[in-house]
């Protein structure tokens, strides 16, 4: 029903892996940079990764080497593969989109948002 729909959240033990998927409309997928953000209680929303129609990717330092963002051009989906998860990764994860280029991981530059999905990493 929403323009962007996240799925795949849940609870995982520290050191485990989890895969999130964002379903977009075809028009949004083809014309927007797609990004992943997260927000923990009492914390500001943080940009963690993005990717555009050119398939180039950008990552925040906090997830570099652990998380992988990828595109499926047939299904119009963006995925976030999260590995070596830590308790500090616990947050609500959001999919977002901005026109046009992936020039920023600042939340204020993204105009379209999903509802979020909870990721909890336990010790």
Can you give the pLDDT of all 123 residues of the chain as single tens digits? 468 999 999 999 999 999 999 999 999 999 999 999 999 999 999 999 999 998 999 999 999 999 999 999 999 999 999 999 999 999 999 999 999 899 999 999 999 999 999 999 999
* CA angle in degrees (0–180, nearest 5) for 10-56-116: 25
DSSP, res 102: -
DSSP, res 52: -
Report the alpha-carbon distance of residue 34 to residue 3 in Å, rounded. 12
DSSP, res 87: G
H or E element at residue 27: helix 26-31
For residue 3, the model assigns a pLDDT of 87
Question: In terms of residues, how long is the chain?
Answer: 123
For residue 2, the model assigns a pLDDT of 64
Q: Strand, helix or coil at 37?
A: strand
Cβ atoms within 10 Å, residue 77: 18
């Amino acid at each position: 029903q929403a323009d962007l729909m996240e799925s795949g959240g849940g609870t995982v033990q520290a050191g485990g892996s989890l895969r999130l998927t964002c379903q977009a409309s075809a028009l949004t997928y083809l014309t927007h940079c797609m990004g992943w953000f997260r927000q923990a209680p009492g914390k500001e929303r943080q940009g963690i990764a993005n990717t555009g129609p050119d398939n180039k990717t950008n990552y925040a330092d906090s997830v570099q080497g652990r998380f992988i963002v990828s595109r499926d051009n047939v299904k119009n989906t963006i995925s976030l593969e999260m590995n070596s998860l830590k308790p500090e990764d616990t947050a609500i994860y959001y999919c977002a989109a901005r026109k046009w280029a992936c020039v920023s991981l600042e939340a204020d530059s993204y105009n379209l948002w999903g509802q979020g999905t909870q990721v909890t990493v336990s010790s």
